Amino acid sequence: MKTLTNGRIITDGRILDGYDIITDGGKITAVVPHGTPQGKTVDLNGRYISAGFIDLHCHGGGGAEFIDAEPEAFRTAAAVHAKHGTRVLFPTVSATDFDTMVRVLECFRTVRKSCALEMPGVHLEGPYLALEMCGGQAPEIIRPIDPKEYNFILKNYGDLIARWSYAPEKDPDNAFAKALKAHGIVSATAHSSAEYEDICRALQADNRLITHLYSCTSTVTRRQGFRHLGIIESAFLLDALFVETIADGRHLPPELLKMIVKIKGAGRVAMITDALRPGGAGPEQEGKTYTDCPVPFVIEDGVAKLLDRSAFAGSIATTDTLLKTAVGAGITLTDAVKMLTETPAYVMHLAEKGRIAPGFDAQFTVFDDTLQIMDIML
């Protein structure tokens, strides 16, 4: 049993002063007014404490990517992101061939419990995407939805997959979305030219999440003068939809990030890193080119760019970067924390994560007034 005392608790959209957190056996047993400690006492010295940060969408870090399908790659990336405040991470795999998907999932099966943070399941980002919206995905890998392929993967590895992102306009009868739902896998819209009707149809099959809004997501188009809503407008119009934002300070200008939160509310926005191989490496990566990946990229201006500079390829952020970016954009600290804890937990059906309350997991992120992550053993 432990008592975490003298911390400023951020949970449920509030900051609680003068309360202690009691934990036992990996769970929070009580949040009580400061008083007599129970068991070992950990003094937080006035620092902020929140539920552990959750990253829904991360490809790697520290020079490794999950698509490498090697145990050490998983451990390396996990260790880097754990140092920056992430406690739960969904290893994300870009569009790739069938054999690589299988190798990644096989590797994940063996390594998931030996990493520095918790990994509930893999996020497959593709390969059933829209070619014209490939962005940083390898265009030669993108392909039509293949029932034979996905049924094999679901049958043999469905228990390892937490989420699968795809372009819903490629799934006109919702067969793929329904198959994901039947296996308890969260479906999400990504790299897509979908229109409002496609999004509404997918929503009927419980596709409620938009992958990195404003990155490879369609907007209003015109055909013979008539305008058709895209993913962006649908996300704002449909209250049932949740959205991801790459809040690295590069993919979205601060005004746009603030607008998204103003329209959707922090309870419908999850901030993600979308970090690639150099995630967490810092400014020394500036100017470095990476070719050992499906789509080569260069680090410039603190972000990963395609070699022709036509688009971003991903980020080098960690979750503490997201926190600082959101607060710097004028978003309240409580809302910023919610978008790193409670909202992603809700989206991924993590019923015992994302809040500091009795019965929830004792996973915490601690940081100071400068939003610097503190490495404190809790």
Higher-confidence residue of 375 and 209: namely: 209
- Are 324 and 254 in contact by the 8 Å Cβ rule? The answer is no
The model's confidence at residue 377, banded by pLDDT at 50, 70 and 90, is low
**pLDDT band for position 281 (50/70/90)?**
confident
> Residue 352, Cα to own-chain centre: how many angstroms?
17
Give this prediction's pTM: 0.96
**Quick one: pLDDT band at residue 294, thresholds 50, 70, 90?**
confident
Average pLDDT over residues 125-135: 96
Q: Which residues lie below 8 Å from residue 98, measured CB to CB, with a gap of 6+? A: 149, 153
Buried b (16+ CB within 10 A) or exposed e, 241-264: bbbbbbbbbbbbeeeebeebbeeb
Average pLDDT, the chain: 96
Chain segment 164-203, per-residue pLDDT in tens: 999 999 999 999 999 999 999 999 999 999 999 999 999 9
Q: What is the mean pLDDT of residues 68-89?
A: 97
Mean pLDDT over residues 118-140, rounded?
Answer: 95
Asked if the model's pLDDT at residue 121 lies above 70, the reply is yes
Distance, in Å, from the CA atom of 186 to the CA atom of 203, rounded to the nearest integer, reads 12
3-state secondary structure of 350: coil
In 3D, which of 313, 311, 231, 323 has the Cα closest to residue 278?
313
At residue 203, the pLDDT reads: 98
For the chain, the domains span 1-50+354-378, 53-351
Residues of the chain with pLDDT > 90, as a percent, come to: 90
The predicted structure's pLDDT at residue 64: 95
- The mean pLDDT of 332-352, rounded to a whole number, is 98
- Greater pLDDT, 122 or 311: 122
Reported as a pLDDT band with limits 50, 70 and 90, residue 293 is confident
Average pLDDT of span 256-285 = 94
Measured distance CA(273)–CA(334) in Å, rounded: 19
Which tokens belong to 129? 């995407």
The CATH code of domain 53-351 reads 3.20.20.140
Quick one: pLDDT at residue 337?
A: 98
User: pLDDT tens digits for 40-71?
Assistant: 999 999 999 999 999 999 999 999 999 999 99
- Assign domain 1-50+354-378 to a CATH class: mainly beta
Annotate 296-334 with DSSP letters as a single string: -EEEETTEEEETTSSSEEEB---HHHHHHHHHHTT--HH
DSSP state of 185: P
Which helix (H) or strand (E) segment holds residue 78: the answer is helix 71-83
